[in-house]
Amino acid sequence: MLNTAFSPSLEQVDYARHVIAAFESADTGLVVFEGKLLERPVLRSMYRMVAIAERIEETDTSSTSEYVAP
């Protein structure tokens, strides 16, 4: 329940992945993405958001597969 409340939405994670891809294809510290000028600190935030989402997904997957009913 806490993971659901505090985890980024699928839309936010998708946006973050697109921003990361835009930075990776650029050779500068600035990217114009969807009409917004984004700088490196935004990229760090996007990496963090994707990492959190992946960690939650791994935790949710492993906890449901290891659950043993009493």
The predicted structure's pLDDT at residue 23? 95
The predicted structure's pLDDT at residue 5? 74
Beta bridge partners of 31: 38
Rg of the chain over CA atoms, in angstroms? Answer: 16
Q: Is the pLDDT of residue 1 over 70?
A: no
Q: Is 35 in a helix, a strand, or coil?
A: coil
pLDDT digits (tens, 9 = 90+) for 7-53: 899 999 999 999 999 999 998 889 999 999 999 999 999 999 999 99
Spell 15-44 as b/e; 16+ CB within 10 A means b. bbeebeebbeeeeeeebeeeeeebeeebbe
The predicted structure's pLDDT at residue 7? 84
CB 56 within 8 A of CB 7: yes
